[in-house]
Structure 1
Amino acid sequence: MGVTGRAMAVAAASGLFLIPWSPAHAAASAGYAAADLSPLWGVPFAGMLLSIALMPLLANRFWHHHYGKVALFWALAFIVPFAIAYGPSVTAHELVHAALSEYIPFIILLGALFTVSGGILVAGHIHGGPGTNTLILALGTVMASFIGTTGASMVLIRPLLRANEGRKHVVHTVVFFIFLVSNIGGALTPLGDPPLFLGFLKGVSFFWTTTHLFTDTVLVAGILLVAYFLLELYFYRRETNLPARPDPSDETRIDIRGLQNVPLLFAIIGAILLSALWKPGISFDIYGTRVELQWIVRDVLLIVIALISVAITPRLVRERNGFDWEPILEVGKLFAAIFATIIPVIAILKAGSNGAFAPLVDLVTGPDGKPVNIAYFWLTGGLSAFLDNAPTYLVFFNLAGGDPHRLMGSLAVTLEAISAGAVFMGAMTYIGNAPNFMVVSIARHRGVKMPSFFGYMVWSSIFLLPCFALISWLYFV
């Protein structure tokens, strides 16, 4: 059962510690002042990122077999000194809070989408080429806002790779897939990307992002699709051993199997919406972290949906899909360390002008006290490329006042800058958004020699930074 079963075990174990919520438990987090934290507390997080960036390049065999141990090392490099400095109780509170409010819901949602979408097999005679590949990328870009960037990525990456089997030049197709399907396409609804969903939970209207990020998304996606088509045309003409074309009468025949999983994708969407719209007013305290009943119900429903998918999907469908649990396990282990080591980094950022990162935070406010929208866009985006984009979104959402009505009103451009930065610039690195790493892992398992961490950033810098500079000039200056 892989990660789904493990997620269920974690959720069930968490239930053993449920007690009625009491404000007294919130004091557990008061063991340190974020404003007093040294930037040196960010070293384990930086080490984790550098390990992801460099070790596959410098010690690929070691990394492939021991990435979980490396992740554990950096997590302990934060946990042990923090426990010595501030005490085991405060450290446990911070870890439990990060796990229950961020990591466990995050990995359960990813696990559910990965499991359900992995049971949908798009088969048939699909011949990869400039027109077909561009169409698949465009379709995925649209799908991402409705079934999430993770769902769209997991449904389409395998058929895209199969359609281009036997080709020498495939890397650019996977790279643009990450740009468009795993990131930029998720900008139009709160279901598309976690930062926007957090904004929805904070009170931003469901269709606010649809109306305010539509032109931004269409412009960037349109430029990238045209750039990809031209690049693909160039590489396609350089192929020397193209696989034989199928019979013309069968070339466009597409066979979709595992259709019983399609309603389960909508069930996942329903579970997420339920947690946002249903407010029973019941909450629990788990070691100082307040957990709402609707969140627990959501996560249990997602686990059940994933288990149903496993039960009703024929094994042959998953086998033909090249499905295995390794990509989600890799994401689970690496992001567990990321969510742990990011704790002091986010705390320092939340300290605002009183924290060690004050010069960075002060850039978003002008001398007249008004927000500097272009700074919000680039700082939110720049940090989202290396930190998790969901908590980064929340940090800058709160720095802009945290009032959803004001942010949707007089500060609408500021909220647009924060939202676009968090979603769009998640495409800048492999770790900017969870689907990025999952797509890379699947591609590598299918024999595609994906670029290193920094090699990918060369691609993203060449094709994405000009797009971001353009929308900065058009919308945020």
Structure 2
Amino acid sequence: MPSVRSKRRGGSLRHRQPGTRRAVWLIALNLALLPQDALAATGLDGAAMRWPYALPFAGLLLSIALGPLLLPKFWHHHYGKIAAAWSALALAPIAWQAGVVAMLAALVHAMLAEYFSFIVLLFALYVVAGGILVSGDLKGTPWTNTCIIALGTLMASIVGTTGAAMILIRPLIRANLARRHNAHVVIFFIILVANVGGALSPLGDPPLFVGFLHGVDFFWTTRHIWLQTAIVAGLLLAIFVVVDVWRFHKEPPFSGAGPAQPVRIRGLVNLLLIAAIVASLLVSAMWRPGIAFDVFGTKLELESIVRNLVLLVIAALSVWLTPDEHRQANGFTWEPIREVAKLFAGIFVAIIPVIAMLDAGQHGAFAWLLSAVTAPDGTPREVAYFWFTGLMSAFLDNAPTYLLFFELAGGDPHLLMGELAGTLASISMGAVYMGALTYIGNAPNFMVTSIANESGIAMPSFFGYLLRAGAVLIPLFLLLTLLPVAPILHWH
């Protein structure tokens, strides 16, 4: 493996820390050796499963919610082992009921078809965005905070919610560290930048990219839900301004004298690398060489393998080309992406029986769900799709939840973009918007929270965040359901 070259800055030679260099290459190597993006069926009989199969998944979610609150030190040191234990408990009944071979096939499918492409993209965006340093004299005033959050909301559909969040969260945190009341700033940042802002393109949020890969036109969501997204984002920004102004007036005056330092953006090469990430996603969606490899029943498409290798190369280039001092000034560490990787690996495994039961439709333990989203005459209920997709996205990963309801609605992209446009719009909005309701609704939520906690901002607990986000978002979603400007949402 080639060593990372030293860089000369102002006559002094700065060497990269060996631990950081080893960590980068080990993570990249481990991910590169795992093929990606399978589309094979697991073969599990979801109709033969009953609700107790979902208990390990519920246990994992409760551990994520209560562990940091009740046993913070133990959780911090052992969260990976806890996630692995719940995953093993989820797999054991499958092996007992369907056999070890079927269990292994389901595990391979979950890891290769769903998890690794997900984590490789997050890893690349996290590394590249972490090399962009926004410096200067930023004060956490309501005007500054609103501008940063509004900018991130606009960026999210272009560079992705993860990219926008990782670029702007650290400047926002630095600007607000001196304030006594600052957690609300990060909460609104998560809601808008890490979720709602990504609703207008497949590049914005993973659920929409899943839809794009399954035949939805690239600009379909831009054309069909721009008004709803503008309403939700605009109202959220207005609420944030009111809350932040109220909190700001309770703060002591900013101290410190001296001339203000101008705002500067350094590490601009990483902007080119983000553009390369976007380009790689687009090319992989359009390039269909028709070559695939079978791994234990899971089909690995060549374009997906190439895409993920390219993403890993881009991440390595970011580490190579970005001066160490930029990441150090950003307070960049590997812990947030490590935490996301371990916990979401557990989620993707523990959710296997839940997805199998949902896929069983009216023959499975969740048959009531199919009845709830379908009228007696067989037509879909758009409002039900919006709320069920959204609420399940808040507690499951929103990408597989989107795909689940996409398939539940028939899975025909041409029909869903035409006659059933309201259903597709409802699924899209529910998956993206309501991912903001919990820390686990969307992966950037977890990363932003971890960075904020590491930086000294006391973020609320899992349930504390849920209550705060729900108090702001649920009334807006009810309003969205009833607004005459959103005619796609109707009860049948």
1:385–1:425 CA contact under 8 A, matched in 2: yes
TM-score by length of 1: 0.95
2:140–2:179 CA contact under 8 A, matched in 1: no
Q: Select 2:297's aligned residue among 288, 301, 305.
A: 288
Aligned to 1:126: 138
Map residues 67-106 of structure 1 onto 2, 5 A cutoff. 67-106=79-118
Q: Select 2:339's aligned residue among 330, 352, 355.
A: 330
1:8–1:300 CA contact under 8 A, matched in 2: no
Residues 163-208 of structure 1: CA distance to partner in whole angstroms, max 9, x if unpaired? Answer: 1121101000000000000000000000000000011111111110
Matched, 1:13 2:22: no
SS of structure 2 residue aligned to 1:122: strand
The CA deviation at 1:241 is 5.5
Aligned to 1:197: 209
SS of structure 1 residue aligned to 2:293: strand
The CA deviation at 1:5 is 3.5
What amino acid is the match of 1:110?
L
C-alpha distance in 2, partners of 1:357/1:315? 51
Q: Select 1:342's aligned residue among 333, 348, 351.
A: 351
**Identity over the aligned pairs, expressed in percent?**
54
Distance change >3 Å, CA 126–CA 12, structure 1 → 2? closer
Map residues 33-182 of structure 1 onto 2, 5 A cutoff. 33-182=45-194
Residues 99-129 of structure 1: CA distance to partner in whole angstroms, max 9, x if unpaired? Answer: 1111111110000000000000000111111
What amino acid is the match of 2:222?
T
What amino acid is the match of 1:317?
H
Aligned to 1:428: 437
Residues 322-374 of structure 1: CA distance to partner in whole angstroms, max 9, x if unpaired? Answer: 00000000000000100000011111111111110111221000112111000
SS of structure 2 residue aligned to 1:238: coil
Unaligned runs of 5+ in 1: none
Distance change >3 Å, CA 7–CA 287, structure 1 → 2? farther
1:127–1:245 CA contact under 8 A, matched in 2: no
C-alpha distance in 2, partners of 1:240/1:194? 41
Distance change >3 Å, CA 98–CA 4, structure 1 → 2? farther
C-alpha distance in 1, partners of 2:466/2:45? 35
C-alpha distance in 1, partners of 2:382/2:165? 31
The CA deviation at 1:256 is 0.6
2:32–2:312 CA contact under 8 A, matched in 1: no
What amino acid is the match of 2:25?
G
1:140–1:181 CA contact under 8 A, matched in 2: yes
C-alpha distance in 1, partners of 2:78/2:447? 18
Moved more, 94-103 or 417-426: 94-103
Bigger proportion of residues as helix: 1
What amino acid is the match of 1:72?
A
Matched, 1:212 2:221: no
Q: Select 2:373's aligned residue among 364, 376, 379.
A: 364
C-alpha distance in 2, partners of 1:14/1:412? 37
The CA deviation at 1:11 is 4.2
C-alpha distance in 2, partners of 1:275/1:464? 35
What amino acid is the match of 1:352?
G
C-alpha distance in 2, partners of 1:111/1:241? 39
Aligned to 1:381: 390
The CA deviation at 1:82 is 2.2
- How many residues are treated as equivalent by the alignment? 466
C-alpha distance in 2, partners of 1:6/1:96? 21
Matched, 1:185 2:197: yes
SS of structure 2 residue aligned to 1:190: coil
What amino acid is the match of 1:184?
V
C-alpha distance in 1, partners of 2:263/2:101? 57
What amino acid is the match of 2:28?
M
Aligned to 1:262: 271
Map residues 312-323 of structure 1 onto 2, 5 A cutoff. 312-323=321-332
What amino acid is the match of 2:328?
E
Residues 294-318 of structure 1: CA distance to partner in whole angstroms, max 9, x if unpaired? Answer: 0000000000000000011100110
Residues 392-447 of structure 1: CA distance to partner in whole angstroms, max 9, x if unpaired? Answer: 10111111111111111111111100000000000000000000000000000001
1:96–1:289 CA contact under 8 A, matched in 2: yes
C-alpha distance in 2, partners of 1:245/1:149? 36
Matched, 1:440 2:452: no
The CA deviation at 1:81 is 2.9
Aligned to 2:319: 310
C-alpha distance in 2, partners of 1:336/1:384? 16
The CA deviation at 1:6 is 4.3
SS of structure 1 residue aligned to 2:396: coil
Distance change >3 Å, CA 58–CA 188, structure 1 → 2? same
SS of structure 1 residue aligned to 2:33: helix
Distance change >3 Å, CA 245–CA 42, structure 1 → 2? farther
The CA deviation at 1:386 is 0.3
Matched, 1:232 2:232: no
Distance change >3 Å, CA 11–CA 231, structure 1 → 2? closer
The CA deviation at 1:2 is 7.1
C-alpha distance in 1, partners of 2:102/2:24? 29
Distance change >3 Å, CA 246–CA 270, structure 1 → 2? farther
C-alpha distance in 2, partners of 1:447/1:126? 17
SS of structure 2 residue aligned to 1:324: coil
Q: Select 1:272's aligned residue among 281, 296, 300.
A: 281
